[in-house]
Amino acid sequence: MAQDIDQLAINTIRTLSIDAVEKASSGHPGTPMSMAPVAYELWQNHLRYDPADPVWPNRDRFVLSAGHASMLLYSMLFLAGVRRVDSDYVVHDEPAVSLHEIEEFRQLHSRTPGHPEYRWTSGVETTTGPLGQGIATSVGMAIASKWQGERFNRPGAELFDFDVYALAGDGCLMEGVSHESASLAGHLKLDNLCWLYDNNHITIDGDTALAYGDDVLSRFEGYGWNVLRVGDANDASLLSRAFEEFKAETGRPTLIVVDSHIGWGSPNKQDTESAHGEPLGAEEVKLTKKAYGWPEDAQFLVPDGVRERFDELIGNRGAELRAAWEEKLAGSEHAAEIEMMQRRRLPDGWDEAIPSFEADEEKGLATRKASNKVENAIAERVPWLIAGSADLTDSTSVRLTFDGAENFEPGSFNGRQIHFGIREHAAVTACNGMALSKLRPLWSTYLTFSDYGRPGIRLSALMEIPVIHLFTHDSIGLGEDGPTHQPVEQLASLRAVPHLDVIRPGDANEVAEAWRLAIERTKDPVALVLTRQNVPVLDRSKYASAAGVQRGGYVLADCEGEPELILIATGSEVSLAVGAHETLAGEGIRSRVVSLPCWEIFDRQDQAYRDEVLPPGPAVRVAIEEASTLGWERYVGSEGTIIGMHTFGQSAPFKDIEREFGFSPDQIAAKAKEALR
């Protein structure tokens, strides 16, 4: 193998990827083969990254948006000697990815799953599998870098200026989220963001011409991006020049279009799927290795000098950069705050101004408006809480109103309020990127439009990061806008997502407790689901404390002796259940009201507490929620009654709609009495 050391290293990346995919009989070797020179040039000569401390806060981020090419990233993590970091942010003197892990690619419990998974493999900056998610998330990382730089940098002590690189393929740029996110990044002038587009004209079905003919360069120029082109992925000098041009660019994100060709050993082979979508096969592996000047029968070969070359370049450079950064941090007045952010801790007194709300049975208060009061009380004391909306800032009540709460925009990157525009998918993925960079973001829209952000919501849960998804206009109580805007199935579908706690508070004081739950999270997202319409602020001297929200569900109102009926409700229907409870009490019927704002938290309580709230005795259970009935069976049992939605809603004043569908205290009381018979 008479190759210079850099070419030898590039071919090591390629052959490790080929061998891992071949052994697993599963995976995609094509992109690792074609893009190995690009990743090598970036990591070795440009990326500000210390393999010995892969959670160094000011490291450049590398996101493999084309997650099917995971072996490219795993090979880089292994060869660069990236260390393993545990859940307490302790860096261990062992590799994040060992050669053994590469040999166990796509096998049970290995650190090399089929697509890169955040938390699972140190050095993976974000989970990427669904195409487009990586580049979209990278926008949030770039936002976080700009925000942290504005807050913490001082002349001669620049603590945050990290760049974000994301490697994407044709599939990433076809996905709709790429359009939303690229448009947002261009508008915000995120000149610390660089997308690398692997322009190889191949997807799983074959040539991209089957379904894709975009003029990508013109498209991104229209977004306000700096567009560069590298005509050959193997040309290190052109790649280097492009990376330097990106770093010199001001006021525009950069797209580097890299022309590459997925190749194989046999000149007659025409089946693109074998190179892109499945292993090459033994014969093609030998031919390909021969073309690389590699021993044809070698398996997982790492030639002498390759690992040392990575230590010499990225290893030494990264160690020097991190040491210099740590020296700056030690002399910074912001060191304690930065440490707090990195550990997802909260400042002392963060909750001192959270309001309590006086009882108001008549006028009431929309839970979205109560939420805004609590949000501002917290955000003023947690400076890294960033609030945004998909063009519904005031309608969803997420506007920050305290002094200094400016908009995040070009020229004001320290702003706390982000306007995402009508880009729900980009909003949630940007928040994922911010959370991965240790900000505390929230985004908002109407509950029915949560569907537009669903892939990003799912990934926040999969990565177990504490994003706050805030949804308002949460039921048919929305009224005149009609069934397109009235959510029915969204609550059930959100509750189906693992690691996502869906909290639908019943009044203003439950809102305050819900916010405590949300902001104290160090992992796992929450979905706050809030009303547009006013709901009564319950008299807590008469009914139980809203602190019961902390356990997911609690007995709000009770009777003397054992209840005959248990009325279980969430959100705006809690006050309806209380009204029915009072009506039933006047008729001598013993009932209990259980407020159940968060199923997931309640289900995590011990059995004794759950039995205390919902005793397993003979009482008839009635669930009340202006949404799909799916899932309520677990609480009411086969003999219980569920008052919910079985159709979509209608357009009318919300009081008329609620009565039309049976959601008034007297109607609920009548159905409860029927259930007793």
Pairing of strands 193-199, 254-259: parallel
User: What average pLDDT score do residues 386-409 get?
Assistant: 95
Q: Answer with the residue of higher pLDDT: 277 or 178.
A: 178
pLDDT score for 272:
37
How far apart CA 672 and CA 677 sit, in angstroms, is 9
Quote the CA–CA distance of 499 and 335 in Å, as a whole number: 32
Query: Would you place residue 42 in the very low, low, confident or very high pLDDT band (cuts 50, 70, 90)?
Result: very high
DSSP state of 138: H
Residue 262: band (very low, low, confident or very high) from pLDDT cuts 50, 70, 90: low
HSE at residue 319, side-chain half, CA atoms within 13 A, is 11
Residue 506's nearest CA partner among 534, 476, 526 is 534
Are 632 and 567 a contacting pair, CB within 8 Å? no
pLDDT digits (tens, 9 = 90+) for 595-616: 999 999 999 999 999 999 999 9
Least confident of 2-11, 242-251, 276-285, 534-543: 276-285
Q: What is the per-residue pLDDT for 204?
A: 76
User: How high is the pLDDT of residue 448?
Assistant: 98
Instruction: Kindly give, in sequence order, each residue whose CB lies less than 8 Å from that of residue 22, ignoring residues fewer than 6 positions away.
Output: 29, 279, 280, 281, 282, 285
- Grade residue 201 by pLDDT with cuts at 50, 70 and 90: confident
Q: What is the mean pLDDT of the chain?
A: 95
Are 294 and 15 in contact by the 8 Å Cβ rule? The answer is: yes
Concatenating the DSSP letter of every residue in 600-649 gives HHHHTS-HHHHHHHS-SSS-EEEEEEEEE-TTTHHHH-TT-EEEEESS--
Angle, CA 376 vertex, CA 373 and CA 377 arms, to 5°: 85
Q: Answer for the pair 31, 198: CB distance below 8 angstroms, yes or no.
A: yes
510 is catalytic: no
All domains of the chain in start order, with CATH:
5-315 (3.40.50.970), 360-536 (3.40.50.970), 552-676 (3.40.50.920)
Q: How confident is the model at residue 1 (pLDDT cuts 50, 70, 90)?
A: low
CA dist 372 and 532 (Å) reads 12
* Complete DSSP assignment for 9-34: HHHHHHHHHHHHHHHHT-S--HHHHH
Q: How many residues does the chain have?
A: 677
Question: Residue 36 corresponds to which tokens in the numbers above?
Answer: 């190995």
**Quick one: what percent of the chain has pLDDT higher than 70?**
97
Kindly state the DSSP code that residue 157 receives in the 8-state scheme: B
Closest C-alpha among 195, 89, 193, 196 to residue 145: 193
What is the pLDDT confidence band of residue 677, given thresholds at 50, 70 and 90?
Answer: confident
pLDDT beyond 70 at 518: yes
Place of tokens 């003197």: 93
In this predicted structure, the answer to whether residue 347 has a pLDDT above a threshold of 60 is yes
Question: Measured between alpha carbons, how far apart are the two ends of the chain, in Å?
Answer: 86
Catalytic entry in 424, 564, 573, 658: 424
Looking at residues 452-473, what average pLDDT do you find?
98
- Structure confidence by residue, pLDDT tens digits, 535-577: 999 999 999 999 999 999 999 999 999 999 999 999 999 999 9
Nearest Cα neighbor of 188 from 428, 409, 391 is 409
